[in-house]
Amino acid sequence: MPIQIKVFPDEVIIYNDGRLPDTWTVTDLLTRHRSRPRNPNIANVFFRSGMIETWGRGIKKIET
């Protein structure tokens, strides 16, 4: 299934039917870890939009 991106005036919703890498858990994702974007194109959109200032800050910024 392709990635779906929906843009609304007050939010952006990204749906990806993909999974975390086999060795990762949600807990791992929410703790400090090395930045390895699974989809560099989506990571670049967040970087260019100002949602992340540097690589590796996206998850923390999204969850707040």
CA neighbours within 13 Å on the CB side: how many for 49? 13
13 vs 5: CA distance, rounded Å: 6
Report the phi/psi class of residue 9: left, alpha or beta, with left for phi > 0 and alpha for psi in -120 to 50: alpha
64 vs 46: CA distance, rounded Å: 15
Q: How confident is the model at residue 63 (pLDDT cuts 50, 70, 90)?
A: low
Share of the chain above pLDDT 90, in %: 8
- pTM to 2 decimal places: 0.42
25 vs 40: CA distance, rounded Å: 20
Count of all residues that appear for the chain in the document: 64
Q: For residue range 15-37, what is the model confidence (pLDDT) as tens digits? A: 877 777 788 888 887 787 777 77
